[in-house]
Structure 1
Amino acid sequence: MRDSLDIETVSAALVTSGRPWRGVEFHPALGSTNTRLRELLAGTAQPTGPYAVGRAGDDRCLWWVVLTDHQTGGRGRLGRAWTVPDRASIAISVAVPVADPAQAGWMPLLAGLALSRAVRRVTEAAGHALTARLKWPNDVLLADDGDRKLSGILCELVAVSSGQAVVVGTGVNVDQTREELPVDTATSLAVAGATVRREDLLVAYLDELTAVLAGAGADIGTDPSRAAGVAGAVGAVGAVGAAGAAGARTAYREACSTIGLEVRVHLPTGEAIEGVAVGVDDGGALVVRTDHGERSFAAGDVVHVRPAAGGLA
């Protein structure tokens, strides 16, 4: 029997001094956490439960967290389905303001960086440290299980009364058995040998995300001393805060296993471009060196990026 999320513990850990999160909404089952949060931001739905922190009138549900034990209509990039058993995974969406919408392309990359660090931290504490690797643009893979997919991240830019925000949706396979995974290219922390509490991974992920975003220059909705406190509390991520936006991007590039690979980029037209992934530009696009020169591909412009030699990733 899998347990439901201990939402009181999660809320108490997140909505506290030193963190920007202003409230947590939990549903035992929900079609899509991203859809729900977009409705909250638009004002077409009202938050359930008491507010944990009072909100200003012009930033409805920014820094809000929506969680569910069972996401029944989850989706990834380009509308791909994301289905998991009840209470076996993490399904979470958060709303983060962005000052420059042109930089929204970096949000799934930085969220992946944060999650990879949280996975390492929590599995190490559980006595079975795992290595998470980043596949551009929005997948987190487990090196410990043949680079199978552990997590997918879906970000959506939305308009709010105070400007623009990004809804960051994240699904993480935590407790599934091999038989419960929909495809052979997927994995879970349990399959890779790590037993962790979902609550611990959730809090670690959002702490790491806060620190990475603060390091990238985001306004995390707190005064500088609180932001510094979060970054310092999560250890190595504090170094990103000192380096600024360039440092956060460098940290992602160093962690991205796509860079350096011979890749095949599949486009919606059916065309496939082959070359070497040589970097990620300052807009978050993948730069590929082909026989005809370098080309940049934004996440929304590609269907798949695969190793040219084949393989799970």
Structure 2
Amino acid sequence: MREPLQREALHEALVTSGSPWLDVDVHRELGSTNAEAARLARPFHVVVTDHQKAGRGRLGRSWETPPHTSVTLSVLLPAPDVGRGWMPLAAGLAVRDALRDVAGVEAGLKWPNDVLVPADGERKVCGILCELQPGGIVVGLGVNVDQERDELPVDTATSLRLAGAPDVSREDLVVALLGRLAHWHGELCGGPASRAALHAAYRSACLTIGREVELHVAGGEVRRARATGVDEEGRLVVAADGTEYSVAAGDVVHVRPAR
């Protein structure tokens, strides 16, 4: 049964003593949670919708989620003094942790901002979009929870239901996502040791490292390389033709091994 999100339950679980979250807005439908969070410009104010009609991704992509099937939320977080490029990667870790804790689904991270379920053919279960604003960084998360295969926009997507977790409470998932996001944001804003722990956790969870990849860069060029690591600024390190260099932007496609 697909039920609407309950604002009262989310507020009670999130807006507590010691929690950074200050308020929760739950919308029946919304064009874009990122746009609404940017408009409000209130740090630690959570924007959630049951039906996102004009979601935005990287490179201007857009999508719509069926009502009551996803967790779609955005928050404005203070920008860290060091390592802003790590914010999408930290958000990916938060999603990975929450999926394991709430749904029992083991996920991996594709640099820079996709969460994949390897057990379902390495399909995407969550997308992340971080946007720098005057008041901080808007972090947007979209997790496919209850969709059937024909409700997903592309064949490379999946949902928690299809990954073997058909009865996930979306309220529980929202609370877990934000709890882990607060943790990793705190690590990113902390000292060198905290940031080093975040970097190590991400590198361990990143499925891209060690893979052959295609880099789709500006102008339509496609480069083939091997991903060798993630540098201190959160950029993907790749090696090709005897040269190693860092990539800060562009689409990365995992090259599947020949059968």
Please indicate the TM-score interval, normalised by the length of the shorter structure: over 0.9
Counterpart of 1:108 in structure 2 is 88
* CA distance in 2 between partners of 1:83 and 1:295 (Å): 36
Counterpart of 1:271 in structure 2 is 221
Deviation at 1:99, TM superposition (A): 3.6
- 2:46 alignment partner AA: V
Give 1:126-165 correspondences, 5 Å limit: 129-160=104-135, 165=136
SS of the residue 1:12 aligns to: helix
- 2:63 alignment partner AA: W
1:198 to 170, 174, 177: 170
Contact 1:122-1:196 at 8 Å conserved across structures: yes
Q: Which structure 1 segments of 5+ residues have no match?
A: 42-60, 124-128, 219-240
2:185 to 213, 218, 233: 213
- 1:67 alignment partner AA: V
Give the fraction of aligned pairs with identical amino acids, expressed as a percent.
Answer: 51
SS of the residue 1:193 aligns to: coil
* CA distance in 2 between partners of 1:87 and 1:93 (Å): 17
SS of the residue 2:72 aligns to: strand
Deviation at 1:243, TM superposition (A): 4.2
> Are positions 1:308 and 2:255 aligned together?
yes
Give aligned pairs, total: 257
- Over residues 52-103 of structure 1, what are the superposed CA-to-partner deviations in whole Å (9 max), with x where a residue is unaligned? xxxxxxxxx1111001000001011011112210110011001100142x62
- 2:140 alignment partner AA: G
Contact 1:261-1:277 at 8 Å conserved across structures: yes
Deviation at 1:280, TM superposition (A): 0.7
Q: Which structure 2 segments of 5+ residues have no match?
A: none
1:121 to 96, 101, 104: 101
Deviation at 1:151, TM superposition (A): 0.3
Q: Return the TM-score normalized by structure 2.
A: 0.95
* CA distance in 2 between partners of 1:10 and 1:106 (Å): 27
1:94 to 68, 75, 92: 75
- 1:14 alignment partner AA: L
Contact 1:29-1:70 at 8 Å conserved across structures: yes
SS of the residue 2:78 aligns to: strand
Counterpart of 1:84 in structure 2 is 65
Contact 1:153-1:169 at 8 Å conserved across structures: yes
- Over residues 239-258 of structure 1, what are the superposed CA-to-partner deviations in whole Å (9 max), with x where a residue is unaligned? xx994111111100110000
Query: Is the radius of gyration larger for structure 1 or structure 2?
Result: 1
- Over residues 150-186 of structure 1, what are the superposed CA-to-partner deviations in whole Å (9 max), with x where a residue is unaligned? 00000000112xxxx0000000000001111111100
Deviation at 1:292, TM superposition (A): 4.2
> Are positions 1:29 and 2:4 aligned together?
no
Deviation at 1:16, TM superposition (A): 0.4
SS of the residue 1:209 aligns to: helix
What is the CA RMSD across the aligned residues, in angstroms? 1.6
> Are positions 1:187 and 2:158 aligned together?
yes
Contact 1:216-1:247 at 8 Å conserved across structures: no
* CA distance in 1 between partners of 2:158 and 2:39 (Å): 31
SS of the residue 2:2 aligns to: coil
> Are positions 1:39 and 2:39 aligned together?
yes
- Over residues 94-145 of structure 1, what are the superposed CA-to-partner deviations in whole Å (9 max), with x where a residue is unaligned? 1100142x6221111000001101000001xxxxx22111000000011221
* CA distance in 2 between partners of 1:65 and 1:13 (Å): 13
Contact 2:80-2:188 at 8 Å conserved across structures: no
Contact 1:215-1:242 at 8 Å conserved across structures: no
